[in-house]
Structure 1
C-alpha cells in the first residue's frame, strides 16, 4: 500500500468512514505498517469486510453515526477500554449535498452539516484528551473544495471550509500541548461516493482536464499522504493542508488551451 515504511507498531489509529474508499485504503495502509486500527461507519457489514482475515486483536469495528455526540463519546470510551489509548485520528467520514443552493432542501443541508461540521467538531472534542495523553495527531481527509468554490456544491463546500477553519484553530491551541492536526485535500477521486460520476466518461474528462497528471485520483493515492502526516517524519508539520490532487490546485482555473 505504501512504498515507504512507517513505524506504527503498537500505535492505535481511528479511521472514521473506514469501510470504503479513501477510508478503507487508509485502514489497509495503517495495518500494513503495524498499527492497531479502529474503524467506524454506519454499515457494519462494510466494516467487517474491510478487516476480513486480519488478526482480530489488531482491529475493532464500531458502527457509529458520526453526527451523534453520544455515539462519539461511546466510541472513545470503547477505544480506551480495548486498546488503552489513541495515537492517531483520521477524520474521513463525509457527507455530500449536490446542487445549487436554491435546490438544497433543509433535510439535505441538515444531513451534510451534521456529518461534516457537527460530526467533525464532536470527534475532535472527544479525542483530543487521548491525543494529548499520547502526544498523537489528527489527519482530516479534506478536499480541494474546502479551499475554493465549485459550481453546484455550495452546501458541501461551505461545510468543508468550516472543517479547515476548525482544524487550523485547534492546531494553534494544541500545538503547545504536543498535538498536531493536519489535512490532506484530494480532488476528484474514484470511490463509492463518486461511482455515478465516474461511470460518465464526459464527466470524468471534465475533471481530468484540470488534472495535470492526466487521471482521476484513486484511494491508494491518498492513503500514503495520510500516513506521512500521521508519522514521525511530519513531526514539525501542523495546521497545514497537503493537496493530493494530481495538480488540480496548481491551476488558476482558466481553460486548458
Structure 2
C-alpha cells in the first residue's frame, strides 16, 4: 500500500516543496490550502487530492477527513505548513491583527492535528509542525508571529506526549530564512530602504548566518521528509532547527566578528 500524506499550505513555498518531494518518492498526497488555483497547479505535478479551504477553520475538516479516508484509508503523515504574518510591536497590534496571527500560525496547526490524529493513529503515523526560529527567539516588531510560533513548540510537545503511546510521532521544524513568496514580501522593506534587489536583500539578512545564505524550500522539505520516514522512527517531541546555523550565533559578540580571523 502506498504511503499517504496530508500537507497544509500546499499551494506554495515549503508546503508545495514537500508535496513535490514526497510525490516523487511515491507518496499519495492530499493538498490543503485556501487558494484552489495554486493547489490545482501542484496537483497536476503530484496527482494530489485537492482540498481547498482554511486549515484554521474547524468546520472544514470533517469534509476533508471524509475525503482523505475514502481516498487513502488513513494517513501515514501530516505536514502542517500553513502559516502567515504577525507583524508589529504589541502596542501597534490591533485585536484583529492579533487574532489573525494566532489563527494563521497556531489555530491552523491545532485544527489540522486534531482532525488528522485518528487517521494517523490508525497507521502509527507522523506529524510535522512547521515552526520557525521565531519559535525560539524574538525578532523585532513581530509580536503576533513570535508568540504564535513559540506556542507551536508547546503544541508539539503536548501532542508528542499524549499520542506517543498510540505510535504517533510529532516533531517541529524551525527554519530560518527560506526563499518563499512570504519571505520575498518581507524583503521588500529592505529592498526599498537600501535600494537593492531581492538577492541583495537575502544576502543582507543572512550576512551573519554561519552558512551565509537562506534555505531553499526543498531543503526544508528534505528535513520534513526525514522526519516522516522510518529513518526517524525514534524521533518525537523534537524541535529541529534548519536555519543555516542562525541560532548558534552569539549575538552580543557580533561586534568582535570583524576582529577575528576568517577561514
TM-score (structure 1 length as normaliser): 0.91
* Larger Rg over CA atoms: 2
Assess, with a 3 A threshold, how the Cα gap between structure 1 residues 53 and 205 changes in structure 2: closer, same or farther.
closer
Corresponding residue number in structure 1 for 2:230: 232
1:207 matched to 2:205: yes
Q: Which one of 7, 11, 16 corresponds to residue 15 of structure 1?
A: 7
The whole-number CA distance in structure 2 between the counterparts of 1:168 and 1:175 is 10
Gaps of 5+ in 2: 259-263
- Separation in structure 1 between the aligned mates of residue 216 and residue 156 of structure 2, nearest angstrom: 25
1:148 aligns with 2:140: no
Residue 50 of structure 1 aligns with which residue? 42
What's the counterpart of residue 4 of structure 1? none
1:1-257 map, 5 Å: 10-54=2-46, 56=47, 59-198=48-187, 200=191, 201=196, 203-254=201-252, 255=254, 256-257=257-258
Contact 2:20/2:45 (CA < 8 Å) preserved in 1? no
* Counterpart contact for 1:182–1:229, Cα < 8 Å: yes
- Is the Cα contact below 8 Å between 2:75 and 2:123 reproduced in 1? yes
CA apart distance, 1:159: 0.4
Question: Which structure has the highest helix share of the two?
Answer: 2
State the shift of 1:196 in Å. Answer: 2.7
- 1:204 deviates by 2.7
Cα distance in 2 between the residues matched to 1:194 and 1:172 = 32
Measured after TM superposition, the shift of residue 203 of structure 1 is: 4.3
The superposition leaves residues 14-69 of structure 1 with CA deviations (integer Å, 9 ceiling, x where unpaired) of: 00000101111111000011100001110000001112244x4xx10111211110
Partners of 1:114 and 1:197 lie apart in 2 by 20
Stretches of 4+ aligned residues off by more than 4 angstroms: none
The Cα of 1:123 is off from its aligned counterpart by 1.3
Kindly indicate whether the alpha-carbon contact (under 8 Å) linking 1:217 and 1:246 is maintained by their aligned counterparts in 2: yes
Partners of 1:100 and 1:152 within 8 A in 2: yes
Question: 5+ unaligned residues in a row in structure 1: which ranges?
Answer: 1-8
Structure 2: distance between partners of 1:197 and 1:85: 37
TM-score normalized by the length of structure 2 = 0.89
CA distance in 2, matches of 1:96, 1:196: 10
2:261 aligned residue: none
Gap change, CA 1:53 and 1:146, over 3 Å in 2: closer
What secondary structure, in the 3-state scheme, does the structure 2 residue paired with 1:193 have?
helix
**What do residues 83-127 of structure 1 show as CA deviations (whole Å, max 9, x unaligned)?**
111110000000212111111121111111112222221111111
- Count of matched residue positions in the alignment of Structure 1 and Structure 2: 246
